[in-house]
Structure 1
Amino acid sequence: MNTRDWPIRAKLTALVIGPVTGLLALWIFATTLTFGPALDLLSARTLLYDLGRPGEAVVTELQRERRLSVVQLAGDRALPELTEQRVRTDDAIVELRRKVGGGDLRDVADAQLDDRLDQLVSALDALPAGRAFIDDRKVDRAGAVGLYSGIVASAFQAFGAMAALPDAQLNREATALTALGRSRELLGQADALLAGAVTAGRYADGEHEQLVRTVENQRFLAEIAVADLPPAERTAYQRLTEGAGFLQLRALQDSLIRSPALPARFDMRAWDTGHAEVWQSLRDFELRGADALAERSVPMATRILVQLAAAGVLGLIAIVVCVLVALRVGRSLAQRLTGVRAAATEVAERRLPDVVARLRRGEEVDVAREAPELDLGGDEIGQVARAFNEVRRTAVRAAVDEVTLRRGFNEVILNLARRSQGLVHRQLALLDRLERRTEDPDELAGLFQVDHLATRLRRHAEDLVILAGAAPGRGWRRPVAAVDVMRGAISEVEAYDRVDVGEVAPAGVLGRAVGDVIHLLAELIENATAFSPPGTRVDVAGRSVPGGYTIEITDRGLGMSAPALAEANRKLAEPPEFDPAGSARLGLFVVARLAARHGVRVELRPSRPAGIVAAVLVPSELITDEPPVGADASAEPERRRLAKVTRLTTMPRPGRPTRPGRDRSENTVVPLQAARASTVEPPADGDGLPRRIRRRGVTARPRAAVADTPAHRTPEEARRAMSALQAGTARGRRDGSRAAGTDPATPATGPRDTGTPSTAAGPAGEPAPAAPDQTNRD
């Protein structure tokens, strides 16, 4: 049985319950041992009056009926006295049966006495049959003596079982009185044998020897019984045997023993007189002794019961005191240990997290107040409490130091991130100027690629800002179309050429959430491209749903296991604290932070047949109608950047040659079929837009327009047309702005690139990032 995990209260109870149970069992055992003999002593009166007196009356009547039956068998006629005696015997038997069948006698009788009573009743049931044999003279004198002596012997066996008192002296006296009764029964047997022989005028065969044995046994039992009597009773018995009747009877017995034949001049009248006197004297002596014995047993039983009550009460008081002391000590120990446990739990589950949260909010924390002293005495528990006081203070101080260190670490990260943001923003502005001056497609393609890398660097710098607990600072004043938000996110992904924009329902995103939604989508699209095979596509689609706008990003990767998916969704629903040890899941953490900032709900679910679907539900509070094209100049930089990406995808990427026989435009993997229908439509006879032609050497090929447009366009031709449309639109706007003397790429409200915060000269000549609460400026 493993008890290590038992509660302390259960362990203390187990320690106490064993000794207390043992003590209680001993108390019950001792009480039972003492209470039983006391009840036996009290039952002595019941045994005497319900069995002793009725049984002795039956024995007396049976002895008289036995003598008359033997006399009748010895003579030649029926005796009227025998009939009368049988009636008296039956009356005594009826009274005995009533007592034996009653509940009082059976309740106090033990198992042995119950058996002896059943034997006595069975012997009495055989008496009518014996009487019939005697009346029919089918039995001789010896048989008649044996019949009645057997019934009387059953009665004395019951008397012997009754004499089993717990007190040794009382038990010896009861045994002695029973032996005297047996001696008197032998005296009656001798009288019945002699009466039959006198009536018949001679002994039957074996009667003299039986008479001699009976007389000798009677004397022997009397001597043994007298030896166990108390001194007073023994003295009384000695005086009784010195009487004239006893002396006369003994002399007659001696004469019968000496003469093998019946004396011719035997004085039967003297025998009858002496026998009656002795028999009655012995009977009276026995009855007086039994009454005295019963009377003496009551005070003795009362004394035992009083002692038992005193011992029982004292034992019960001792048990109750032990239980109370055990409960009090156990409760005290349990309460003190529970107090230590509660203090430890409070520190671990409430105080330390509360201290850490307050420290992260910038509040001051008093270590002494947050770790109060525990005073639980001077024993081992008190020493444990004092040791825990030190542990608690150390834990609080360690929490303070850890939060202070983390705050400093976040400030360092934020400072480096802001500096990186400033440098990236300056780099993007420089790249934009270089792109405007460059006409060579190869150089322009290289600049576009560097521009794309810088955009990704900007996103990673914003990741650091988010990890540090600050806002990235990128925002728009006016709503931006959902399709432009998706394109802006695609433009910040490395494998943008594997992303397909599917069906996008018209909608607009409020400017204050555009930057964070773009960043959130970029992280999810980046994950989709990173965790799916290089040859598969990533689909992005948007649709309006009750409660907001859903953007779904579907990849064809291996997917995630159910536990990993549940864990990821839990972290997305409840953003955890940033743990530097979990650097492999920074994107998930950034997405959770950005989603929690605007109430956006992100959920990952399995895709069919394989892969993951990332569903981004933008709440309706952030969704508005789709703005018209050109309604917000701040969205123009994102459109220009998407145009760069689109044009870049029409060219072979460095280090990846185009397949033979395949048009370069087949590298385009940002299909614009889901773009808004309100965008400029190509003419029916062809796109009619100029297309930049790659120059070979120093001689550039002239620009050429498509002269003939087939009636049915292939998907690749439609893709090229749309790419050319977007690039031409951007170039036309730029040329128109130059003719007007302004550059739309540098609006008066802020710097040029998407989400680029305004910068000023920082310390040591580095740009200092704009405050997060500035409006963007794109």
Structure 2
Amino acid sequence: MNTRDWPIRAKLTALVIGPVTALLALWIFATTLTFGPALDLLAARTYLYDLGRPGETVVAELQRERRLSVVQLAGDGILPALAEQRGRTDRAVAELRRRVNGDDLRDAADDLLDARLDQLVSALDALPAGRGFIDARKVDRAGAIGLYSGMINSAFQAFSAMATMPDVQLNREALALTALGRSRELLGQADALLAGAITAGRYAEGEHEQLVRTIENQRFLAETAVADLPATERAAYRRLTEGTDFVRLRALQDTLIRSAGLPATLDVRGWETSQAGVWQGLRDFELRGADGLAERSVPMAVGILIRLAAAGLLGMVAIVICVLIALRVGRSLARRLTGVRTAALEMAEHRLPDVVARLRRGEEVDVSREAPELDHGGDEIGEVGRAFNEVRRTALQSAVDEVTLRRGLNEVFLNIARRSQGLVHRQLALLDRLERQTEDPDELAGLFQVDHLATRLRRHAEDLVILAGAAPGRGWRNPVAAVDVIRGAISEVESYDRVDVGEVQPAGVLGRAVGDVIHLLAELIENATAFSPPGRRVDVTGRTVPGGYAVEITDHGLGMSPQALAQANRKLSRSPEFDPADSARLGHFVVARLAARHGVRVELRAAAPAGTTAVVLVPADLVTEEPALAPTGPGTTSGDRRMAKVTRLSTVPRPRTTRPVRERPESAVVPLPSGRTSAVEDPVDGDGLPRRVRRRGPANRPRPPVAETPAPRSPEEARRAMSALQAGTARGRREGARAAAEPAAPASDRVAAPSPPEPAPAPEPPTATERDA
């Protein structure tokens, strides 16, 4: 039986139940052993009055009937006294049968006495048949003596079975009285033999030897029995034997023993008188001794019962006290151990996490107040409690030190990240100037590659800021179209040329969330390109859903197991604390932090037939209508020009599209030279078309094949033509947006219709937020 996992209360209960059960069993056993002898002593009166007195009466009547039967067999006629004696014997036997068959005697008798009583009843059942043999003279005198002696012997065996008293002295005295009764029976047998011989005038064959043996046995039994009697009883018996009848009967017995035949000078009258006196004297002595035994057994039994009651009561009190002490001690131990366990669980499950959370929130924590001393006593449990107090203080101090260390580590991260951000921003500004000043396509392609690397460095610097628990510095004041947000995210991915933008439904993202959404999408797109084969494409789509705007990023790699998906979704559904030991999925941590900041939901799903789909649900409170393009050109106001400022969202060419999408004009995603508010400028030649700033794309961008023309254009002519086409497209879209907005009331987040032409003010420099972005 494994008791290792038992509760402490169950173990203490088991420790208590074992000894208490053993003590209770011992108490019951001792009580039973003591109660049995008390019942035996109380049963002595039952034996005396239900078996002893009736049995002795039957023995006495059988002895008288035996003498008369022997006398009748020795003579020639029928004795009338025999018939009367048989009547008295039958009445005594009937009374004995009634007592023997009673419940009181049978309940008090043990197995041995029950067997002896059955033997006595069976022997008495043979009495009528024996009488018939005697009346028909089918038996001689010896046979008649044997018939009655057998019945009397069965009665004395039953008397011997009664002598089972628990007190040794009482039991010895009872056996002595039974032996005296047997000696009296031998005296009766000798009287019956002599009576038959006197009636017949001579001994039958062997009767003299039998008479001598009977007299010798009677004397031996009497002397043996008297030796076991108490001193008072022996003195009474000695006085009885000093009487006239005893002295004369002994002298006549000596005469019979010495004579070979029946003495002619035998005093028959003296024999009969002395023998009757001695027989009656012995009977009275036995009855007085039996009554004395019964009377002495009752107080002794009462004393035993009193001692038994006292011992039982004291034993029960001792058991109750032991149980109470065991329960009290066990409850105290269980309560104290439970207190230590509760304190440990409280510290591990509530207090320590609460202290750590407060420390992470920047609150001050007093270790002595959070880990007060708990007094559990001075024993071993108290020592365990004091050791636990030290463990609690050490744990809290370790938590304080760990949070302090983590806070310092976050500060280091944040400091390094801010410095890196400053350097990257300065690098991007420098690249902007170099790109504006470079006309060579090969050099411009190299600058765009460096620009792309710097953009990725900026994202990684922002990762450090997010790991430190701060917010990146990029931000927008105005909403940005969803397609531009997706393109901005693709521009921060290394393998941007493997990303296909599918259907993107028109929508806008509020400026305060644009930077974080771009970063979030960039991390997921980076994972999609990293965990898919190099030759496979990554699809990005966007659509409006009831809860906001959903962006799906699907790769066609090996995918993730259900367990890995569930674990990743658990991490993405909450904003976990950064654990430096778990650096394998820093992208997931950054995504979870950014999503929790704006209430964005991110979920990974298994794609069909293979791969993984990342679903990004931007909540409805961050989604607005797609912003309209601000007017540009000589007829715009200063406010229009400010609305036309476009932040650097992309540093790479537009990704390949697989389905028709509603795209922003190319001019809206082209980096602008410092100090300009539009991607087009006034014409400098005579073609009458506005001229666009040279588009700086990577030199290695694949160009579509150009059909042969009779007269190929120079680069300057092609530039002017494409700039004019771009400006015309932008102007048409602005006019369409203006026409659609005229019937509705103007909104604060929409671009107002252009005012009448006014002189163009001086160009305004970009804001710090826009430049930092």
TM-score, structure 1 as length reference: 0.77
Q: How does 1:257-656 map to 2 (within 5 A)?
A: 257-263=257-263, 268-435=268-435, 441-502=441-502, 508-542=508-542, 547-607=547-607, 610-624=610-624, 641=650, 644-646=653-655
Secondary structure class of the residue paired with 1:186: helix
- 1:76-122 CA-to-partner distances (Å, cap 9, x unmatched) read 66666555544544443444344334443344333433333344344
- For the 8 Å contact 2:444–2:697, the answer to whether it is kept is no
- Quote the residue 1:160 is aligned against: 160
Give me the whole-angstrom Cα distance separating, in 2, the residues matched to 1:585 and 1:293.
102
Q: Is the 8 A contact 2:548 2:620 kept in 1?
A: yes
Aligned letter for 1:225?
Answer: A
Check 1:239–1:473 CA distance in 2 against 1; reply closer, same or farther (3 A cut): same
Q: Deviations over 1:133-166 (max 9, x none)?
A: 5556555444443343333333322222221222
Contact 1:116 1:154 in 2 (8 A): yes
1:703-718 to 2 correspondences below 5 Å: 704=706
Question: 1:73-152 alignment to 2 at 5 Å?
Answer: 73-74=73-74, 81-82=81-82, 84-128=84-128, 130-131=130-131, 133-134=133-134, 139-152=139-152
CA distance in 1, matches of 2:173, 2:462: 113
Amino acid at match of 1:151: M
Q: How far does residue 62 in structure 1 lie from its aligned partner after superposition?
A: 3.4
| Residue 468 of structure 1, CA deviation | 1.1
With over 3 angstroms needed to count, the CA separation of the structure-2 counterparts of 1:117 and 1:623, relative to structure 1, is farther
**Cα distance, 1:344–1:351 mapped onto 2, change above 3 Å:** same
- The answer to whether the 8 A contact 1:448-1:644 is kept is no
Matched, 1:185 2:171: no
1:233 aligns with 2:233: yes
Report if the CA contact (8 A) 1:440-1:694 is conserved: no
Contact 1:640 1:730 in 2 (8 A): no
Measured in 2, the distance between the counterparts of 1:263 and 1:408 equals 140
Confirm or deny: 8 A CA contact 2:476 2:514 kept in the other structure.
yes
1:673 aligned residue: 659
Residue 239 of structure 1, CA deviation: 1.4
1:71 is displaced (CA, Å) by 4.4
Q: What displacement does 1:410 show?
A: 1.0
Partner of 1:665: none
CA distance in 2 between counterparts of 1:445 and 1:695 reads: 4
- For residue 278 of structure 1, report the CA deviation from its aligned partner: 2.1
Distance in 2 (CA, whole Å) between partners of 1:129 and 1:635 is: 148
Q: Cα 1:568–1:677, aligned 2, differ >3 Å: closer, same or farther?
A: closer
Displacement, 1:288?
A: 1.0
Cα distance in 2 between the residues matched to 1:466 and 1:158: 109
Deviates more, 1:213-222 or 1:478-487: 478-487
Q: Deviations over 1:251-295 (max 9, x none)?
A: 333343334544566555544433332222222211111111111
The 3 A distance-change label for structure 1 pair 240 and 421 is same
Please tell me the residue identity of whatever aligns with 2:420: S
Distance 1:677 1:593, change over 3 A: closer
Residues 279 and 422 from structure 1, CA distance in 2 versus in 1: closer, same or farther, beyond 3 angstroms?
Answer: same
Give distance in 2, aligned partners of 1:228 and 1:524.
114
1: distance between equivalents of 2:644 and 2:272? 151
Query: Does the CA contact (< 8 Å) of 2:376 and 2:382 recur in 1?
Result: yes
| Matched residue type, 2:495 | A
Distance in structure 2 (CA, Å) of the matches to 1:462 and 1:275: 138
Cα distance in 1 between the residues matched to 2:302 and 2:759: 127
C-alpha change, 1:457 and 1:216, in structure 2 (3 Å) is same
Letter in 2 for 1:513: A
Q: Report the equivalent of 1:763.
A: none
1:50 Cα deviation after fit: 2.7
Kindly provide the amino acid, as one letter, of the partner of residue 407 in structure 1: R
Match of 1:762 in 2: none
Quickly say closer, same or farther: Cα 1:95–1:701, change in 2 above 3 A: closer
3-state secondary structure, aligned to 2:602? strand
CA distance in 1, matches of 2:205, 2:708: 165
Q: In 1, Cα distance between the equivalents of 2:614 and 2:703? A: 46
Q: How many residues align?
A: 700
Encode CA deviations 1:397-439: one digit per residue, 9 max, x unaligned. 3322322222122122112212222333333344445445555
Q: Deviations over 1:605-631 (max 9, x none)?
A: 445555444444444444455556779
CA distance in 1, matches of 2:645, 2:135: 147
Query: Quick check: 1:501–1:674 contact (8 Å CA) kept in 2?
Result: no
The secondary structure found in structure 2 opposite 1:603 is strand
Paired amino acid for 1:641: S
Matches of 1:478 and 1:600, distance apart in 2: 19
Structure 1 residues 362 and 178, CA gap change in structure 2 (3 angstroms): same
Deviation, structure 1 residue 384: 4.6
Cross-structure match for 2:683: none
Give the conservation status (yes or no) of the 8 Å contact 1:215–1:253.
yes
- 1:271-329 CA-to-partner distances (Å, cap 9, x unmatched) read 44333322222222111111111111222223333333334444444444444444444
Following TM superposition, by how much is the alpha carbon of 1:236 offset from its aligned partner in structure 2, in angstroms? 0.8
- Structure 1 residue identity aligned to 2:217: N
Residue 772 of structure 1: aligned partner: none
Tell me how large the CA RMSD over aligned residues is.
Answer: 4.4
Report the secondary structure of 2:427's partner residue. Answer: helix
> C-alpha distance in 1, partners of 2:528/2:312?
84
**Aligned CA distance change for structure 1 residues 423 and 274 (closer, same or farther; 3 Å):** same
Distance in 1 between the 2:627 and 2:397 partners?
Answer: 54
SS at match of 1:644: coil
SS in 2 for 1:602: strand
Distance 2:597 2:565 in 1: 22
Q: List runs of 5+ in structure 2 lacking aligned partners.
A: 632-639, 667-693, 710-721, 735-756
**Contact 2:565–2:605, Cα closer than 8 Å, also in 1:** yes
In structure 2, distance between residues paired with 1:726 and 1:141: 167
Contact 2:176 2:225 in 1 (8 A): yes
Say whether the 8 Å CA contact 2:246–2:278 is kept in structure 1.
yes
Greater Cα shift, 350-359 or 309-318: 309-318
1:583 is paired with a residue whose SS is: coil
Provide the C-alpha distance between the structure 2 equivalents of 1:671 and 1:742, rounded to a whole number of angstroms.
41
Structure 2 partner of 1:210 = 210
Q: CA deviation at 1:174?
A: 1.2
Deviates more, 1:104-113 or 1:433-442: 433-442
Kept in 2: contact 1:508–1:625 (CA 8 A): yes
Aligned-partner residue type, residue 160 of structure 1 = S
Separation in 2, partners of 1:741, 1:139: 172
Question: In structure 1, how many angstroms separate the alpha carbons of the residues matched to 2:699 and 2:237?
Answer: 158
Q: Is the 8 A contact 1:477 1:634 kept in 2?
A: no
